[in-house]
Structure 1
Amino acid sequence: MAKTHSAHEPLLLNHADVKNPPRFAPSAFVKWVLNIAMWLLFIFWVAIIFASPSESAEKFTRNWTRAASGSIYGFSGSLFLVYSGPILAVAFLAIASLIIAGEKELQLKKTSKYPRFRLRTFPILVDGPFGVVSAAEFIGICLFVVFFFWAVYGYTLQNLNLLPELQVPSELKGIVMLELSGLRFGSIGLYFLAFLFLPITRGSVLLSIIDVPFEQATRYHVWLGHLTMFVFTLHGLFYLIAWGLQGRLLHEMLEWKDYGVANLPGVISLLAGLLMWVTSLSPVRKKQFELFFYTHQLYIVFVIFLALHVGDFVFSIAAGGIFLFVIDRFLRFCQSRRTVDVISATCLPCGTVELVFSKPANLQYNALSFIFLQIRELSWLQWHPFSVSSSPLAGKNHVSVLIKVLGEWTAKLRSNVSDKSSAEGEKELLNQFCSNITASVEGPYGHELPYHLTYENLILVAGGIGISPFLAILSDILHLTKEGKPCLPKNVLVIWAIKKSDELPILFTLDAESICPNFSEKLNLEAYVYVTRESDPPLEEGKFYKGISSSVSPPSKGSHMSVLVGTGNRVWSGVYVILSVVGFAILMALLDIFYINPMNIVSWWYKGLLFVGCMIASVIIFGGPVIYLWHLWEKRILNAEEAADGRKDDVLQHSASVNMAQDNLVPKDHAISRRMYYGARPNFEEIFTSVSERWGNVDIGIIVCGPETLQSSVARECRSQNLRRGSLQPVFHFNSHSFDL
């Protein structure tokens, strides 16, 4: 009789079985206290920003800065402590919480016996400028919109109260009001800027602690970016109109004064921001991705000249999030300098390329992770994100990705792989080809927890190459089933829409029977494949499964992926972040004591430049040695592990399996129930209704990976099914795994 699992039993155990676990763990209590402290600090930070447009907050800020003016850090330090200190403190607490949690976070639990709605997986908005928006995301959007209108209202009241005190002639009141409004919009933009860089901090502990992956957080950066640039554009536009009405437009734009706001750096910063904004719009970004990518590097110009424009103490309002981004960016820079061995490069008949990279055994990831990849033979500057297609249980020393031709960069990669593979038949030449691919990898990034294992019922909806992460999910489930470890998914339905049948080999590279023989006794696995641009099956079915060209070789350079970012060591990454922040405080104190105060430095723009310089210098001077020691520690651990179990054996075993897969890719998994549909697209209403009748009153996890139209269609049907749900029908939980820059 099969063992049943209670709602409080772990669904995924660690390598070592734990017997008789204690009823109360001190670490759990400490983690709970840290989480409460984090939320209180975060709410305090948001409350300060939300209250800033009020007159009482203005008085509090003036009194606070006046009281702190005699301290070492002065005005800038006091503002930094109030507006940036809380988010840095939250990061410190998050580091402590993640370190205490350790690998216990990998123990997944079913949280409820009965199906229920969740804010993060219930789609509210489906069509529109924001794409698919969940209930939780909708609440966040509403909060930012409410803050914008509240800030405009609060600052307008302050302007109206301030105008009589200025004793301005009546004919100039309109111009002064324009300038005051421009000033206020600049303040609102700084508050938004405080949040803007948080979602794109790829290895951020803030994202890890709430389990929001970077590919999802990028959407928030896009939304905030549009709102921030809209506000900053109003800020600049109001000033330009006021200066133009006074006939001194050119003079004011070129002004760069020492005491007060420097206008010319502000103009440069705004122009850089506008260029990034225009090229990031969807029509430009999708048709001219390289233009978007290169112009977006102007964020360096935008930030530095913003600091020159407003000075150090005003820049302190938004400095916390920017500083966390700088810390993460330097760490990613250090990781990306390393080249990684390409174990194999395979070109499928449809043109999709599979690359397999060497990784250390201590680098952890899950089946929903992704990496950023650079191929130096194609471009020294471009980095492209790809979902992993391999399960972490399939091999501890390699990770693979599937790359479909969708642009110039991917077309060059396929051409290089296919040309080399077809022209070079000798094994030594093939090995030489692999060694000549100079690849660098950032990541892996993604969810902290493999949430696909929290659903007993899964529907995986893919469009084209979107099947890639689902191969990793299926492999993950099959390996857990084979090893006899607790695995919640029991019903899995794969819905895959492709244009032509020559893409089918991508799915059939997963040999379920070889991974877990007789898996159908424990897992109900179905696949619906829709070939949209072919009305009939090929005349010789199975012919397109053959003819794969590939090159396979063991590692030649001995280089593997670094664990510095992504799911790297929490202790080392925590020490790196903390020392960088502490180093910034030390450098600012030394700068004030030995340079700014003795030399009587009063130039706002110069102090702003010194402020940014201290941020960068602290990461290099204080964080750099930590990264170096971390690298030495990683190298020592890796050498010990290789000596213990032999890394090359695992790599060679994977190479052999790749060769076997090439010899015969005709599908052999007769236990998988497959349905082929030609000349049709998935009817999600019909499919979901059928699933509701079969699976009943359960939670169903929907994971979608594909174009925006596919995501919208699935989200719309999930919303429809949930809204008209009966008492004995399932709850559909929408999850998107699509990365759309």
Structure 2
Amino acid sequence: MNSLFLLKLICVLVFLGWMLIWVLIPTEYYTYQWLPILSQKFNATYIGGQGTYLFLLTFPMMLISVLGCIYIHIKNRTELSDTSSSTSKNHMAFFRRPLLVLGPLGVVTTKELMFAIMGITLMSWHFGNYFFVSVKHPYMGGHSTDQLWQKRFRSVSLRLGYASNVAWAFVFFPVTRLSSILPLVGLTYESSIKYHIWVGQAVMVLSALHSVGFVIYWLMTNQIILMLEWSPVWVSNVAGEISWVFLLAIWVTSFAYTRRKTFEVFFYTHQLYALATFFYVVHIGVSWTCQILPGIFLFILDRYLRFLQSRSNARLISARLLPGGTVEMTFHKSPGVHYGVTSTLFVNAPKISKLQWHPFTVISNENMEPDTLSIAFNSGGSWTEKIHKQLSSSVDRLQVSVEGPYEPASTSFLEHESLVLISGGSGVTPYISIIREIIHRSNTQKGHVPRVQLICAFKHASDLTMLDLLLPVDNTISDLSKIKLEIQVYITRESEPPTADSQKLVQTKWFKPNPQDVPISPVLGENDWLFLCIIITSSFILFFILLALVTQYHIYPIDHNTNEIYNFTIWVLWDCFIMCISIIFVGSVAFLWQKSKMTETQKQITNVEVPSPMNSPGSWFGGGTTELESLPYQSLVQATQVHYEGRPNLQKILSECKGSDIGVIASGPRGMRHDVARICSCFGSKNLHYEYLSFTW
């Protein structure tokens, strides 16, 4: 515990120092006092003038990422007592409490509001100080014949670009899946998508104002020809314009309506981020690139490791097709893969789309199902419908690649006195792993076992079959009597149970083993976080060494010892090339070394079939007469009450919850999640603790 506290304290202090540097950079004192001294000192080193920002802004975040890996590694191997977990939960409950529920922003918690205010303040501070310095001192750029107001207009446009660089520095951190920085503040890739959206909006707005401002300035001063300038000794206007065009395409197709209606358009257009980032760093040059380098470096490293993991085909053992259109896919996994409740697995089916990766919540439980990993989804979109069609056909193998699984930052919601899980439609799937974990705890007497009330809203009675997934496909559970489980189901579009003749059967398909398929394995081995620490450290040191060699023996002989100025664009291309080479080399060596350690036992694939029920217990919920031989299914049915042609009164349900510590989680339609957050944020609902788990974008 002491080592964990010390590591986190060091990370906090380094981060505060890093933020202090960001605050000082736009000030007059830094610009005219510190920067000349620092530049002079670093110009005498092997890395040149870019060393100023490498030392001030890149190195601190790389250090935090390394220490974060060590912190997570120690934490994963340290069993904290129930008391400390509860204390941590209560201490952080205030930051998870929803404060605002606003249309485009959604549910905004205390933590999110704090980060948003800090981000807006930092960008405003940069713009204001840079503009103040430019106005106070005579030189503001532009043509010598420009009027004062034109110079100031140009200065405003330029300083907006400086402010956008601050947003660029943070935009990649939230989407780095193998991130050791996000867990330090209680975030995961899924839960931090909202931050990426907010920062991305800031990048687009500020970049748009910066670009449009310069176009207007060039038109006013008859210098529109500068739009076609690619200067060899200064910033490239063309590169900035190309980057902005790519950003504009990403921006237009990233709004919620496009994501819901035409996900493929959003997904494929979003891949232009690579070109947008590349032309942006070409536009700003090496010194300014070093300001935003940590986020880019860690994201590329994460992306390359995910690429290596996804090259293998995952062993798909079985698929369970439920009458309501729900699909459960079960994979074989190696013993080194560890995951918790509400973990996320990304899935790709090359036969359907080689580029599309879709996230799904893991519904299996590591303790109950040590050799398998399962996901579930409803075939409501075009991609999932094609998957359902493939699995419904007579195929004996489906080629699938995976990335992950990625664990949540915290499962403290399991320490509440009781849980109220509210879902709409397929939103019930994230709760399956929670209930399975509670079943495991109740049977093993390990950990706190909260009372659970599951509130489900389905459109049709056929969707009741989704409740079948609460129990594993092999049905190894023998006793559900030790848990306090209450399930309330509301069928909104039907007034009576379906007849026995209309009920469909469950289909379970078992796939033949294929030598090309391998169990899901951790990309970096069992000690993945410790190994990631080594990879980050080694790749950054290699980058630093190569950068020093190229600068000293190639760039400086031209830039310092002749009358020439080294090409502005080629210099930043060297930095990008060296960074990619360092990441690819170290990442490949580490991956191949870990892959060679895989034992023959882990490589062997077995094909074990277990009996599967032909009748769905979900149909029994609707009033069927089939006798259930399985005692767990009988207990599940007895705990379930179905209401037809009605919707749950969430205000009434939550107000009647008894207890001083009730965790409330909502998953499903946006409007329903917002309603639950509003109820929990009311002043009189102090016993309701809204647990924000981001299952959807």
| TM-score normalised according to structure 1 size | 0.86
Worse overlay, 315-324 or 400-409: 400-409
- Kindly tell me: are residues 146 and 367 of structure 1, through their superposed partners in 2, closer, same or farther at Cα, counting changes over 3 Å? same
Preserved CA contact (<8 Å) 2:286 2:572 = yes
Preserved CA contact (<8 Å) 2:242 2:279 = yes
- Kindly tell me: are residues 265 and 702 of structure 1, through their superposed partners in 2, closer, same or farther at Cα, counting changes over 3 Å? same
The answer to whether residue 550 in structure 2 is matched with residue 591 in structure 1 is: yes
The answer to whether residue 496 in structure 2 is matched with residue 532 in structure 1 is: no
**Structure 2 counterpart of 1:490, one-letter code:** P
The answer to whether residue 667 in structure 2 is matched with residue 701 in structure 1 is: no
Which residue of 152, 172, 175 maps to 1:177? 152
**Partner Cα distance (1:483, 1:219) in 2:** 37
Preserved CA contact (<8 Å) 1:495 1:528 = yes
Q: SS of the counterpart of 1:269?
A: helix
- Kindly tell me: are residues 620 and 106 of structure 1, through their superposed partners in 2, closer, same or farther at Cα, counting changes over 3 Å? farther
The answer to whether residue 409 in structure 2 is matched with residue 445 in structure 1 is: no
- Kindly tell me: are residues 561 and 206 of structure 1, through their superposed partners in 2, closer, same or farther at Cα, counting changes over 3 Å? same
1:736 maps to 693
1:464 maps to 425
**Structure 1 counterpart of 2:610, one-letter code:** A
**Partner Cα distance (1:462, 1:95) in 2:** 34
**Partner Cα distance (1:371, 1:42) in 2:** 30
Q: SS of the counterpart of 1:656?
A: coil
**Partner Cα distance (1:147, 1:709) in 2:** 32
Q: SS of the counterpart of 1:213?
A: coil
2:628 maps to none
**Structure 1 counterpart of 2:541, one-letter code:** V
**Structure 1 counterpart of 2:662, one-letter code:** I
The answer to whether residue 300 in structure 2 is matched with residue 326 in structure 1 is: yes
**Partner Cα distance (1:352, 1:167) in 2:** 62
Which residue of 8, 24, 30 maps to 2:3? 30
Preserved CA contact (<8 Å) 1:572 1:630 = no
**Partner Cα distance (2:206, 2:524) in 1:** 33
Worse overlay, 177-186 or 35-44: 177-186
Worse overlay, 400-409 or 261-270: 400-409
**Structure 1 counterpart of 2:496, one-letter code:** D
The answer to whether residue 468 in structure 2 is matched with residue 508 in structure 1 is: yes
1:410 maps to 384
Q: Displacement, 1:415?
A: 1.5
- Kindly tell me: are residues 43 and 348 of structure 1, through their superposed partners in 2, closer, same or farther at Cα, counting changes over 3 Å? same
- Kindly tell me: are residues 71 and 248 of structure 1, through their superposed partners in 2, closer, same or farther at Cα, counting changes over 3 Å? same
**Structure 1 counterpart of 2:596, one-letter code:** L
1:46 maps to 19
Q: Displacement, 1:620?
A: 1.1
Q: Displacement, 1:382?
A: 0.7
The answer to whether residue 535 in structure 2 is matched with residue 562 in structure 1 is: no
Preserved CA contact (<8 Å) 2:524 2:594 = no
1:713 maps to 675
- Kindly tell me: are residues 301 and 87 of structure 1, through their superposed partners in 2, closer, same or farther at Cα, counting changes over 3 Å? same
**Partner Cα distance (1:409, 1:226) in 2:** 28
2:635 maps to 670
Q: Displacement, 1:622?
A: 2.5
Q: SS of the counterpart of 1:393?
A: coil
Preserved CA contact (<8 Å) 2:140 2:155 = no
Preserved CA contact (<8 Å) 1:358 1:555 = no
Q: Displacement, 1:159?
A: 2.3
1:626 maps to 590
The answer to whether residue 495 in structure 2 is matched with residue 548 in structure 1 is: no
Q: SS of the counterpart of 1:529?
A: strand
**Partner Cα distance (1:167, 1:211) in 2:** 46
1:684 maps to 650
Q: Displacement, 1:595?
A: 1.7
Residue pairs, 1:290-309, within 5 angstroms: 290-309=264-283
Residue pairs, 1:470-481, within 5 angstroms: 470-481=431-442
Preserved CA contact (<8 Å) 2:379 2:388 = yes
**Partner Cα distance (1:706, 1:587) in 2:** 49
Preserved CA contact (<8 Å) 1:252 1:263 = yes
The answer to whether residue 188 in structure 2 is matched with residue 213 in structure 1 is: yes
1:203 maps to 178
- Kindly tell me: are residues 417 and 168 of structure 1, through their superposed partners in 2, closer, same or farther at Cα, counting changes over 3 Å? closer
**Partner Cα distance (1:689, 1:167) in 2:** 64
Q: Displacement, 1:202?
A: 0.6
Preserved CA contact (<8 Å) 2:326 2:379 = yes
- Kindly tell me: are residues 221 and 562 of structure 1, through their superposed partners in 2, closer, same or farther at Cα, counting changes over 3 Å? same
Q: Displacement, 1:164?
A: 6.7
**Structure 2 counterpart of 1:411, one-letter code:** E
Residue pairs, 1:145-156, within 5 angstroms: 145-156=120-131
Which residue of 184, 203, 215 maps to 1:228? 203
1:484 maps to 445
Worse overlay, 562-571 or 390-399: 562-571
**Structure 2 counterpart of 1:386, one-letter code:** F
Q: Displacement, 1:690?
A: 1.0
Q: Displacement, 1:567?
A: 8.3
**Partner Cα distance (1:185, 1:132) in 2:** 29
C-alpha offsets along residues 658-687 of structure 1, whole Å, 9 cap, x if unaligned? x24767664633365322122222211100
Worse overlay, 96-105 or 174-183: 96-105
**Partner Cα distance (2:530, 2:465) in 1:** 42
**Partner Cα distance (1:187, 1:389) in 2:** 45
Preserved CA contact (<8 Å) 2:239 2:279 = yes
**Partner Cα distance (2:601, 2:387) in 1:** 35
**Percent of matched pairs sharing the same residue:** 28
C-alpha offsets along residues 153-207 of structure 1, whole Å, 9 cap, x if unaligned? 2222112212478798786222211221222111111111111100000111112
- Kindly tell me: are residues 568 and 231 of structure 1, through their superposed partners in 2, closer, same or farther at Cα, counting changes over 3 Å? farther
1:656 maps to 610
Preserved CA contact (<8 Å) 2:524 2:591 = no
**Structure 2 counterpart of 1:54, one-letter code:** T
Structure 2, unaligned runs of 5 or more: 560-564, 622-632
Count of residue correspondences: 675
Which residue of 338, 344, 350 maps to 1:370? 344
Worse overlay, 335-344 or 180-189: 180-189
The answer to whether residue 318 in structure 2 is matched with residue 344 in structure 1 is: yes
**Partner Cα distance (1:333, 1:370) in 2:** 17
Indicate the RMSD between aligned Cα atoms, in angstroms.
2.5
Preserved CA contact (<8 Å) 2:172 2:196 = yes
1:614 maps to 578
Worse overlay, 98-107 or 675-684: 98-107
Q: Displacement, 1:99?
A: 2.8
Structure 1, unaligned runs of 5 or more: 1-27, 421-432
